[in-house]
Chain A
Amino acid sequence: MNRVPAPLGLLAELTHRCPLACPYCSNPLALDDRTAELDTAAWARVFREAAAMGVLQVHLSGGEPASRRDLQEITAAASQAGLYTNLITSAIGLDAGRLQRLQAAGLDHVQLSIQDIDPELADRIAGYDGAHVRKQAFAASVVGLGLPLTVNAVIHRANIAHLSELVDYAASLGAGRVEIAHAQYYGWALRNRDALMPTREQIDRAMQQMEAIQARHAGRLLIDLVIPDYYASRPKPCVGGWGMRSLNVTPSGLVLPCHAAQTIPNLEFWSVRDHALADIWSNSPAFEAFRGTAWMKEPCRSCEFRERDFGGCRCQALAITGDAAATDPSCDLSPHHARLLALAEQAAAVQETQYAYRGRSTVIPFSVG
């Protein structure tokens, strides 16, 4: 069964429940219900199987993973399986005491999301009053316990002007690493694209600033960038290649090649309730669908970059062209590239000022300061 290289990372979406409602949420539009969630023992089995097949790192994510009352047991199971254990959290539901118990259970690293530097705007983006202040206190707890901290900031029209200050703020919180992640337009972000998309000028300015930001924090803060690909000329090597490096387990146990894969129609996903993880990785139709290069069409098929960017993102190809096997239109070799740029410019020009929040029936207006 070793024809497929072993994956390195597993994203464990422990739950879709979350107190926040960020308009760029990576969860699907149709959320798994609590009653459908895998139990503690099932997750422990998934982690053991993952470690046995070569997975090295597990990312405990959601939703908000702290919404699970058994997060401590789940963390311990991941750690006991020998996995490097990373908690991806909004901080809501995690006080210092609970965090300390997670550390004792073997937690290796914490990733905290930050919405903005301005508390009021940050809370409006998150759709949760008081979130920002609690995040700040949580960061102090993480650092106080000696746990390494990454700050993740999703960048979009409402906060892109604060990019430089956001990185400085992350450094002031004691982060060793910061992810500047320009919004990626799938699921909720696609639905909110008119309210999130920055203008070309804003993106150009933000990208120009990166060098100075990197230089200012060199040797102290590691800065990783997720590119704004609607305005890019080369596609991102999405998930390091479909079914090549990582896998994603949903709250109810479906195993996906990426978190947005369920947006692609007619893919057959297998569940950890029915199959061993290694069997799913090697043999499930969804993983086979876009693995390698045999599925590619032109211009990818004969492209010199095909083993480097894998044709970009399948979900984005589908969302924009209607064909999941097409070249990601963020690539300037795609016949749809000009249309993607036009979509970005149109969305930015709309100046929509209301977000559609997940789990909320009303839209809440915001203003960009």
Chain B
Amino acid sequence: MPEPVLPERPKLAPGVRLHFDATRNAWVLLSPERVIEAEGPASEILRRCDGTRTLGEIVDELAAVFAADRELIAGDVAEMMAELVAKRLVVA
């Protein structure tokens, strides 16, 4: 499979919704026939995929939230974004 191109301003794909599931006390991504739990850092990334923030801005914000090394965060975000794009959960 070709390496997915990362979107510049990522947003959730049409039909995909981030939802706080009060019963299970967890963030979940809802898409047709799928429920994917978005654990800790994943929900922080997904909540920022709103089509207005750039990938760089998302990384900046997360580096601040987690008080972590920016480069480390950038690597994690890129990895997760590639997976989300491949699964068609996030689009440009």
- Whether A218 and B1, one on each chain, are in contact in the complex, defined by CB atoms closer than 8 angstroms, is yes
Question: What distance in Å separates the Cβ of A219 from its nearest Cβ neighbour in chain B?
Answer: 6
Contact mask for chain A residues 122-161; partner B; CB cutoff 8 A; 1 contact, 0 none: 0000000000000000000000001110100000000000
CB < 8 Å A-B pair total: 60
Interface-located stretch among B15-23, B52-60, B72-80: B15-23
The dominant DSSP class at the B interface is loop
Number of interface residues of B (CB under 8 A): 22
> CA–CA, A53 to B19, complex, Å?
15
Tell whether A290 is near chain B: CB-to-CB under 8 Å. Answer: no
What 10 pairs across the A-B complex have the smallest Cβ distances?
A148-B15, A54-B23, A84-B30, A148-B14, A109-B15, A109-B32, A218-B1, A6-B23, A150-B32, A8-B35
Name the interface residues of A1-43: CB closer than 8 Å to any CB of B: 6, 8-9
- B interface vs A, CB < 8 Å? 1-2, 4, 13-17, 19, 21, 23-24, 28, 30-33, 35, 85-88
Query: Closest chain B residue to A214 by CB distance?
Result: B1
Whole-angstrom distance between the alpha carbons of A8 and B21 in the complex?
A: 10
Interface string of A157-201 (1 = CB under 8 A from B): 000000000000000000011010000000000000000000000
- How distant is B84 from chain A, measured CB to nearest CB, in Å? 12
Contact indicator A86/B32 (Cβ below 8 Å): yes
Known: A6-B23, A54-B23. A146 touches B1 (CB 8 A): no
Residue of B nearest to A143 (CB): B14
Q: Which residue of B lies closest to A52 (CB)?
A: B23
Sample (9) of A-B pairs whose CB atoms are under 8 Å apart: A54-B21, A84-B30, A108-B15, A148-B16, A176-B88, A177-B32, A177-B33, A219-B86, A222-B87
Indicate whether A146 sits within 8 Å of B14 (C-beta atoms), given known contacts A176-B88, A177-B32.
yes
CB-defined contacts of B88 to chain A, threshold 8 Å = 176-177, 219-220, 222
Q: Quote the shortest CB–CB distance from B11 to chain A (angstroms).
A: 13
Contact between A147 and B15, CB atoms less than 8 A apart: yes
Task: Pick the contact of A176: B4, B13, B24, B30 (CB < 8 A).
Answer: B13
Partner of A53, one of B13, B23, B30: B23
- Interface check A111, CB cutoff 8 A: yes
Collect the chain A residues with CB atoms within 8 Å of residue B31's CB.
109
**Interface pair B17/A108, CB less than 8 Å apart:** yes
In the complex the two chains form, is B19's CB within 8 Å of A84's CB?
yes
Q: How far, in whole Å, are A57 and B32 apart by their CA atoms in the complex? A: 8
Which among A6, A9, A84 is the interface contact of B24 at CB below 8 angstroms? A6
Least CB distance from A102 to B in Å reads 14
A56 interface hit (Cβ, 8 Å): yes
A118 at the B interface (CB under 8 A): no
Interface centre among B2, B16, B32 (most CB of A within 10 A): B32
Q: Does A224 contact B (CB under 8 A)?
A: yes
User: How close is B36's CB to chain A, nearest CB, in angstroms?
Assistant: 11
- Known pairs A84-B17, A147-B14, A218-B2 / 18 extra A-B pairs, C-beta < 8 Å: A6-B24, A8-B35, A54-B21, A54-B24, A56-B19, A57-B30, A84-B19, A108-B15, A109-B15, A111-B32, A148-B13, A148-B14, A150-B32, A150-B33, A215-B1, A219-B1, A219-B86, A219-B88
Determine which of A56, A147, A176, A177 lies in contact with B21 in the assembled complex, contact meaning CB atoms within 8 Å.
A56
A146 CB contacts on chain B under 8 angstroms: 14
**A176 vs B32: C-alpha distance when bound (angstroms):** 10
| Contact A224–B33 (Cβ < 8 Å) | yes
Distance between Cα atoms of A224 and B31 in the complex (Å):
13
